[in-house]
Structure 1
């Protein structure tokens, strides 16, 4: 058999087979190649057991009430629902916002000992409601909270008598300072010093004549 005849016979055999497998095609498992079963290696370490929440998670879940009391006269502030992982810096910031003083002027003490800003309540051994002492540095006092201004009675805004207004106006018109200021304003506005002086004189004569 020549090579050409063999090639034609081989191609004719291939053409008889389907190019694509049908959707319901099932392979014959007997035609699968023989393979030895794969055995998983024995585990050297046991599976980890499910543990409860860590101390950090417990600190985040538990909340307490922190009472901030100044060592001297001042306003006591109570902060509820404070997590044990809250830092002293965060507590200082809340206290400063409530009493309106700079945060860097506040010093927090626990059991009469200074508490570092980066320390958390859990780091300081706090696990229940706690009272923290507040020291105001640099002589800064707590600013009282803004209060709504008291509404004055209408009598407090009663207009002064007309006679008093007339006397006040007359007193101003008799001063040289008023007319000097008026002349300077007119000269600057008109950009003409002579015209400004003339108009100031006219106004002064008119005001004086009206008074007379």
Structure 2
């Protein structure tokens, strides 16, 4: 018997059976027969609950980004409250402002794979993640770090310099004070200061 003929005979048999319930049939639940409790079998592995960050309606989930490097130079930069649309280039720019490393010398990696500057956090962060960790490679190592000039360096070559300074009383007074601080003998410090001044004048 083919499947088609079987289906036709089965439907015909159903049609020939009397209909016991009317289309508008309603049964009172109180008339149901009492049944014993049925306990479902335990699952071999419990289902994991989906964790989602608590975000207020209308707000976008924010992420914390950690940028680390164990090589030269060692880095550990933490950037908080970044949106999902923050690009990798924006992260590199923020790290550059914090460390002085040029953006073009940095390459970010996520799970040991290079990430293009055009990628955004949405592309690498999972739905339940609140922290994303990147590792950074610095081309050229510590030598590429920009060191801003210190205040002492900024003040160099201001005012008098060279032989002009040696002609002032303030220089020899400062020299005497320095010698006194080191030797802790006022008479000896004064003699040494006079000796240095006499030797300079003789040489000049």
TM-score range, shorter chain: 0.3 to 0.5
TM-score of the pair, normalised by structure 1: 0.45
- TM-score where L is the length of structure 2: 0.46
Larger Rg: 1
Higher relative contact order (CA 8 A, sep 6+): 2
